[in-house]
Homo-oligomer: A and B are copies of this chain.
C-alpha cells in the first residue's frame, strides 16, 4: 500500500511596482536550509486539499482571503530528499494592498519578481514557472486578472496587471476597447486622484 506523503504548496502572486511577484519563505530546517521556497506543508488527515492550502498560506505568510485554484500535482521520484512526497500545487492571487498588514506577522516571507527568482528549494522553480504560465493563459478567457486588484480600480491599473502577467506592453486604446466590449467591467461614479488628471474607477461586473 502507498506510504507516500502528501503536501500542498502555494504560489502566491501579486503585482508590485508593475511587476508580477511571488511570495517566498526562507526555509529554516533541512533539507535546503536557508533556501527560499514556496509556502506549503503536509496535508492533515482530516483536511481537504484546498483547506490545507489556505491553512499553510495563513500559517506561513499571514495572508488570507485570496483567490485560490489548484495548479498541478507533482509526483516525480526524488523530488524531496526526505522520501517520497507528492505535492499538490496551488496558485493564489491577491491584490498587493491586501497583503500589507497581513505580511507583517510572517517575518521570513518576502516578495520576489517571478522573472528574477533566487535559487529555490526542491522543484519549486518549476512550480512557479508553471503557475506563471497558467495565469498567463487564463488571463484573457477568464476573470483572474481582477483577483490581482482591489474592488475598485482604474482601467490603467487593470492594464498594468495584464502587462505584468503577460510580460509585454499593451496598446492603451485596444486594451480599453477589448475590456469594455467584453462587458466585464462597469464604471463607478468615483474618481481616483492620481497626482495628475484623476481617473475613473471601475468595478468588476458580475
Contact = CB atoms under 8 A, between A and B. Distances in A.
Interface in A51-90: 70, 72-73, 75-77, 84, 86, 88
A44 B2 CA distance: 6
Copies in the complex: 2
A49 B77 CA distance: 9
A46 B77 contact: yes
A2 B49 CA distance: 12
A100 interface: no
A5 B42 CA distance: 13
Interface string A130-142: 0000000000000
A45 interface: yes
Contacts of A49: 73, 75-76, 86
5 contacts: A2-B5, A6-B75, A49-B73, A70-B73, A73-B88
A2 B43 contact: yes
Contacts of A42: 1-2
Given A42-B1, A43-B75, A6 B48 contact: no
B43 A6 contact: no
A45 B86 contact: no
Interface string A86-128: 1010000000000000000000000000000000000000000
A7 B72 CA distance: 15
A5 B43 CA distance: 11
Nearest to A42: B2
A4 interface: yes
Given A2-B7, A2-B42, 14 more contacts: A2-B5, A2-B43, A2-B44, A2-B45, A4-B4, A4-B6, A46-B77, A48-B75, A48-B76, A49-B76, A70-B72, A70-B73, A73-B73, A86-B88
Nearest to A72: B70
